[in-house]
Structures are given as C-alpha cells and as structure tokens.
Amino acid sequence: MASNRKIMVLPGDGIGTEIMKANMRVMDWLAKHRSLGFDMQEGFVGGAAYDAHGTPLTDETLADSIASDAVLFGAVGGPAYDDLPFELKPERGLLALRKEMDLFANLRPAIVFPSLVEASTLKPNVVSGLDIMILRELCGGSYFAEPRGIDDLGDGSRKGYDTNAYTTPEIERIGRVGMDLARKRGGKLTSVEKSNVMHSGILWREVMTALHAAEGDGVELGHMYADNCAMQLVRNPKQFDVIVTDNLFGDLLSDCAAMLTGSLGMLPSASLGAPDPETGLPKAMYEPVHGSAPDIAGKGIANPLAQFMSFAMMLRYSFDQGAEADLLEAAVDKALQSNRTGDIMTPGCTETGTEGMTDAVLDAMDRLAR
C-alpha cells in the first residue's frame, strides 16, 4: 500500500528476525482494518549485514535509514560474531545508527501490566501499577567520547580506556526532553549521575539544575547518585516518574527497570533526535530493549511483545497514530491475560510461542476494534 510513511525495517540477528516477522502481521492487520499503510524497505544490520556485506552496517542502509521517517529495529548480535574485530561486531551497526542519526534521546518506559504482576521477581505490592520512564542519553558519554582505545604501554602491558564526557549543550538537550516528558506524565524528573565521584557528573547536575531554574515550570526536579538509583529501583520503584541519565548509567538502569516488569522481553524503546524544522517530526528508531537472545533463537518461542510495543511507540511518536498505538497496547494487555511466552510464564496460564502470542494479540485487536 502506497503511503507517505516511510519506514526502514532492520530485523537484525537471532530472535530479531522472528519477532519482526510477527510484527509484520500486526502491520498487515492495521493495513487491512485501519487502512494504515507504510512504505517499507528492509535491510540488513549487525551480524546479518556482516554475513551479506562484510560490515555490520553498509553506507547504503545507513543512508536509507536517515532518509526514512522511522526505523523499526529488531536486535543484533550472536556467538558467531564474538571473535570479530571490534569495528565489525554486530553492536557497531546499532551504535553507528544511533550516532549517525543523532538519536540522542532514548525513551525506555517500564510498565507493569496488571496480568504480569506475578511474573516479576519482586513482591506484587512493590511493582503493581508501576509506570516509569527511563530517559537515557544515547549519543555521548562513555559510549562515544574521545579519547578511547587500547594502547601499548611498551612494557609488555596495555591500557584500555574510555572517556565519560558531556558538554553543556548535550546535557541541556536531553534535560529538555526529560522535562517535556515529565510535564506530560506525573511532573517528576529525577536526574541521575555520580557527581560525588565524576566531573562529568558534577557538570551534569549543575546544568540540570540551571536548566530547571530557567525552563522547569511545572516540573519537580530531584537528583540521585546512580548507585543509589539502582538500589531505589528495586526497593521502591514507584517513587520515580521520569529518570534522566547518561548513556552508560541508562544502559544499566534500564535493564534493571526491565526486570521489574517481569521480563526483559517486555521493554520497548524509542530513540529520538531533534525535531525536523519542517515536519516537526524527529528522526527516530524503535527497538525492543532485549537483545538477540541467541540461546532461544530459531525455536519460535521468543516473546514478540517488546517489539510490538516498540512499534506502538512508532505509531505514537512518529506518525501521530495514538489511537492505533492505544489499541495495540490494549491488545497486548488482553493477550497477556491467559497467554504467556516462556520468559513470563506463570502457573495457570497457557504457554505459547511467538506465533501463538501474535495470534492472541491479533485476536484481541479484532475483538477490541469491534
């Protein structure tokens, strides 16, 4: 179906290809029942791109991704690529996309569905009703800042190092997104760093404080050290609304938040750039937070729900299709009432695979759309 919604589909490796195939069925449903079409192009990324082209991301795939309205991403990586040189590893493809598209704002919502309260390893009263947003800076800090490398020290030993650096504008632009998000949610923003130890953390706290004083109307800003935040996330996660933090802390804290929801298989994400001056739409990529899960790849048992919810975020943030996003999320909730993939299995529910879970979601969409 021709449309002006251009999306680049990058399934990647491992379960990425399986859950993306499942996502296509959701897209077919929307085309059929909502006349919602997409101009779709598919490409290789990660190990799949290395196998086909000898690099985890070709210039062409990058250019097509930049030219698209949104990228839908699966997952990358696998043991077959463990011994590749650093620059050829599957993860480099993902990191290059984030950096080259300047997708600096990574939204990782952690929501506990009522039906999944029992699947969390935490006590039900700690997680039930949880709805928090981790906002991770995605283009700076120790993932990208220079200098970085492994040097020969000439005495038979080597030195490996990375730099955690943030500039004022880098902190301000992610801080603004954090305040916007907080305003649309519960009004509370927690800025997380290690200003007790790191210079980048001292500047981070100063800039956040100044930004909040200048532009923070309607937002309550708090500060927390990253180690304390990790502890508070498992102690009392409902104290948080939006957490804004740097690239590395965001990587760690979002995995932690994911487990509050029962499974890493449940967490979607959106990575957004600055809004385009003409269209107002940001460059964007949507991906589940879980990886390629090589241990279960090819078995048809992967949980496709984080992919579906990433797609729902795409509908909402890139295409202003909030009603369809709501419908898909409601269908996921409904499907979860009796269907479970292995990662979120609870006694009394029916264990199913990728296809069965997709059937259940589509069935719920049919019923909810009536």
13 is catalytic: no
Catalytic residue among 50, 69, 89, 143: 143
143 is catalytic: yes
Residue 100: which of 149, 54, 67 has the closest Cα?
A: 67
Query: Phi/psi class of residue 269: alpha, beta or left (left: φ > 0; alpha: ψ in -120 to 50)?
Result: beta
Q: What is the DSSP letter of 222?
A: E
Q: SS3 for 28? A: helix
217 is catalytic: no
Q: Which residue has the tokens 């880098």?
A: 170
DSSP E strand boundaries for the chain: 6-12, 39-42, 70-75, 105-111, 131-137, 149-152, 158-161, 188-193, 220-225, 242-245, 270-275, 282-286, 339-340, 350-351
Scanning 40-48, 68-76, 137-145, 243-251 for contacts with Mg ion by CB under 5 A, the matching segment is 243-251
Q: Which is nearer to Mg ion, 20 or 94 (CB)?
A: 94
Find the shortest distance in angstroms from Cβ 214 to ligand IPM: 30
Q: Which two tokens stand for residue 156?
A: 């038979």
Q: Which is nearer to Mg ion, 191 or 254 (CB)?
A: 254
Q: Which of Mg ion, ligand IPM, none does 170 bind, CB closer than 5 to 8 A by kind?
A: none
359 is catalytic: no
Q: Which is nearer to ligand IPM, 13 or 333 (CB)?
A: 13
Cα separation, 317 vs 286, in Å, equals 10
Q: Which two tokens stand for residue 280?
A: 């107002």
366 is catalytic: no
Q: Under the criterion CB under 5 A, does residue 251 sit at the interface with Mg ion? A: yes
Give residues in contact with ligand IPM (CB under 6 A): 91, 94-95, 251, 289, 291
Catalytic residue among 13, 69, 246, 251: 251
Catalytic residue among 255, 326, 359, 363: 255
Q: Which of Mg ion, ligand IPM, none does 62 bind, CB closer than 5 to 8 A by kind?
A: none
Scanning 82-90, 233-241, 245-253, 334-342 for contacts with Mg ion by CB under 5 A, the matching segment is 245-253
Residue 284: which of 276, 292, 293 has the closest Cα?
A: 276
Q: Which is nearer to ligand IPM, 56 or 237 (CB)?
A: 56
Write the CA distances from 286 to 262, 274, 283, 336, integer angstroms: 21, 15, 10, 22
Q: Which is nearer to Mg ion, 26 or 258 (CB)?
A: 258
Using CB under 5 A as the criterion, which residues of the chain lie in contact with Mg ion when the complex forms?
251
Give the residue numbers annotated as catalytic, written as ranges: 143, 194, 227, 251, 255
